[in-house]
Structure 1
């Protein structure tokens, strides 16, 4: 049977229970932690791409994406608090809907984390070349070294995004030798990000350039641009959904939270609502000062973000200063309204903060690979830990190589859409997992038990599907294409090498952590 291999939840929880983490986080602390995790890449990088898809309707797009995230986050919180071990949605699926669907989730998470890391690398490159090199050092990096051929849609000059390639490989090297983030450094970076964006909102809303007429028309491409077009407010929401990725880190902190039944929803919904309002204000400030209307094609439809046609339009003098043409949108806005110094500081803030996001994404990717390898679904050599560095150096190098290649040759908007496709599938399966476990294991202890599960979980399913079908057609197609490759690997390699299929459950909480091995019958019963 295809769906008969379900990893015993008791085996997974045995490891988690030995951790015995201290419950110390309040609801407010959890909310602040969430704000720090969420604010970052999307708002710094994707504002221009979102405006090209929706114009001033970008503000509505942030609200739509935030609403979908809230219902998905509540599903995530219940399962994360219930199964607080490494592996994220992959492990949750393994314990509920079985090995085959868990494999598809793990395969989608590979798409999510690796491609997202590439997208952040490209976003960092824009701030590095625009602020650090151009504004501070007076160096103009040639176009053929600052954007890949696909980033310019084949326009003359594009060859490789060298800064994006180098930052991805540098972070990979740090992860291989075991360098990790300091909590204090991370807190400073969070403060820098929030302070920079607060200054942006204050300066744009008080600027003499701010004019409400720049919001008209509010929805130049409509609410729905059409399935597969990636246009309109909903199409923009599907892209800037990327700006909310990170809230799952809040969910996984549920087991360290005091009174999780009250504090988890407060932390999750509070952080998501705060970020949604913050994002809307940033978008309003950008559009109200320099305008955010998309550049339209001859048929009255916006040119696709990252396309050859848009690149050529942005090269024209009348569009060069447009919001939709900037690689460092927020810093660009401040320079246009006479705050060049502050704009440069915001660019420096992004330059400093975004590498930590790349590090977290590559780290998360390697841990998914690691857990899947230890389950026997991927070659076990991938889970080899370096004797000196104590890191999974092989899988880290391979992941970093893929991230670097993606960053070198693809545009940020397209990469974000690809990553979102994988994320939406993983969130969809988490909502499925919540409902399956409520039926299969209703009496299991749940530190956070979501109220109204049979309303919230279906809303999460519908929201994920809704955003997915409003991605650009190439991003819609990349998920089944990627999935087909994964399914072929599963049946040709993984299924027959699976530890669970061979009668062994191996649960590893993390690299160098505790390990539980329980013999089971092939049909999945312990004993």
Structure 2
């Protein structure tokens, strides 16, 4: 048995022993919007437009300025190439596990493990950042009602250590101490992850109903921002349009890529989708198209409402309205951000347990992670495990450090999926494909190259952290996964 043995597609369907199929195309599109429209547009948009600058004036990353809309279009094109590849594989391999399952069927076990390990960055580590961002908006809303939580209860230890804000760093000295160690925890972030986890344990259909309600609310809030903001646009704010040229557009795209993470999350729902061969491509491509259109419109309004360099904030949309003197609309948008980011948490927390479930079912992770709840037919154990890990991480972590790590892990998975489509076309050209990528050589190679190109816009620290993460993952694979793989058990018939 080699490291590159592939899992035959024929054995990927668990039939009546798998999860319950309850989701339609509409549910999938709403899941995609729920995952994509969230922390990126409500938080990272400001940094992508204005850039990242240290207190001493050192430029860490250049912003796109009003040309942010070109960053969104660039990313929409890159993600569209990856989305078509996802759609082809998802329609052929309607199994939980997303890019992990596709890689196992096309490129082999070792590649599947690497992709699965990268997906953990996308879902679990990314959700830590989203939870922390949610807590920031929630704390601001409470302040509007005159409720001010102590700083040591709303800032995690590493978030305070990494902050350049003197007021936040002062918490290291003013926070209560236990055995000489300052108590710095983000209780709102911990609480929202706990609540989302409890909801997800009720079942897939119940979770999507709540998600659909939140998606409707977030669309209403963004429509309010666009309508009110468009009435106060100053054309002078669009000049200069691209203050840092293509470098700014490129680096802005790398920053705001977090806004696009999530459209692939619905592929983790493949085993819970009715008629997946038809509905998965519709959900993936339809959701991405809607989200890209929303981003371009919101970007145009935000950069026209105030000078782009004033958008550098954790809550850029609310701040833009506030600077324009629209305080009531600003408060409503902030409230909408809380709902929006809750939906992102829901979908990402939905996806991660299904990655664990798929990997455990293949023997690469311990058996307990592959157990389904007998009533809901959902991976209850891994849902709870994911919730605990993300909640603990959000309690103390720094969100800025996790954004870049999430982006690089996701882009790596996208690149592998693009290549996987091409490999499977060569190896099994006659296999039925309910959805086929057009111009497959161009789309797959350009898609993989475009993902790597966007990755190059990320800082060196992200690459080093990603490398360390992969070393840890490979060590775990050879210590456990390689020896316990179902594919190596007597009677298995791997593809080569």
TM-score category of the 2 structures, normalised to the smaller one: 0.7 to 0.9
Compute the displacement of 1:354 (Å): 2.2
* 2:371 paired with 1:371: no
- How do 1:213-362 residues align onto structure 2 when only pairs under 5 Å count? 213-224=236-247, 232-249=248-265, 260=278, 269=285, 271-293=287-309, 322-325=310-313, 327-362=314-349
* 2:209 paired with 1:211: no
CA 1:217–1:140: 2 relative to 1, 3 Å: farther
The match for 1:146 among 154, 174, 181 is 154
Per-residue CA distance 1:143-191 (angstroms, 9 max, x = gap): 3332334434253226333211221233234445658645443322222
Distance, in Å, in 2 between the alignment partners of 1:468 and 1:217 is 26
Do 2:35 and 2:348's aligned partners in 1 also have CA atoms closer than 8 Å?
Answer: no
Q: What residue number does 2:178 align with?
A: none
CA 1:58–1:257: 2 relative to 1, 3 Å: farther
- How do 1:52-63 residues align onto structure 2 when only pairs under 5 Å count? 52-53=50-51, 54=63, 55-63=65-73
CA 1:257–1:201: 2 relative to 1, 3 Å: farther
Q: What residue number does 2:185 align with?
A: 160
The match for 1:110 among 105, 115, 120 is 120
Q: What residue number does 1:228 align with?
A: none
Distance, in Å, in 1 between the alignment partners of 2:487 and 2:2 is 13
Q: What residue number does 2:85 align with?
A: 75
Compute the displacement of 1:365 (Å): 0.9
- The alignment's C-alpha RMSD in Å is 3.2
Distance, in Å, in 2 between the alignment partners of 1:178 and 1:268 is 22
CA 1:323–1:88: 2 relative to 1, 3 Å: same
Q: What residue number does 1:134 align with?
A: 143
Q: What residue number does 2:55 align with?
A: none
Q: What residue number does 1:47 align with?
A: 45
SS in 2 for 1:500: helix
* Count of aligned pairs between the two proteins: 465
The match for 2:210 among 173, 185, 188 is 185
- TM-score by structure 2 length? 0.84
Distance, in Å, in 2 between the alignment partners of 1:20 and 1:385 is 10
Distance, in Å, in 2 between the alignment partners of 1:520 and 1:500 is 6
Do 1:168 and 1:358's aligned partners in 2 also have CA atoms closer than 8 Å?
Answer: yes
Q: What residue number does 1:65 align with?
A: 75
Tell which deviates more after alignment, 172-181 or 276-285.
172-181
Distance, in Å, in 2 between the alignment partners of 1:486 and 1:286 is 40
Q: What residue number does 1:120 align with?
A: 130
Per-residue CA distance 1:248-269 (angstroms, 9 max, x = gap): 2566789857995xx9877655
Per-residue CA distance 1:46-70 (angstroms, 9 max, x = gap): 2223233213332222122111101
SS in 2 for 1:324: coil
Per-residue CA distance 1:420-470 (angstroms, 9 max, x = gap): 111111111111110111011111111011110001001110111011111
Q: What residue number does 2:58 align with?
A: none
Compute the displacement of 1:109 (Å): 0.9
Do 2:87 and 2:285's aligned partners in 1 also have CA atoms closer than 8 Å?
Answer: no
Do 1:428 and 1:461's aligned partners in 2 also have CA atoms closer than 8 Å?
Answer: yes
- How do 1:406-445 residues align onto structure 2 when only pairs under 5 Å count? 406-445=393-432
* 2:466 paired with 1:493: no
Compare the two structures and name the one with the higher helix fraction. Answer: 2
CA 1:388–1:95: 2 relative to 1, 3 Å: closer
Per-residue CA distance 1:474-508 (angstroms, 9 max, x = gap): 222222211111111111221011111123xxxxx
Distance, in Å, in 2 between the alignment partners of 1:495 and 1:279 is 43
Distance, in Å, in 2 between the alignment partners of 1:381 and 1:24 is 29
Distance, in Å, in 2 between the alignment partners of 1:502 and 1:236 is 48
Structure 2 stretches lacking a partner, 5+ long? 52-62, 164-168, 173-183
- TM-score by structure 1 length? 0.79
The match for 2:94 among 78, 81, 84 is 84
Do 2:19 and 2:377's aligned partners in 1 also have CA atoms closer than 8 Å?
Answer: no
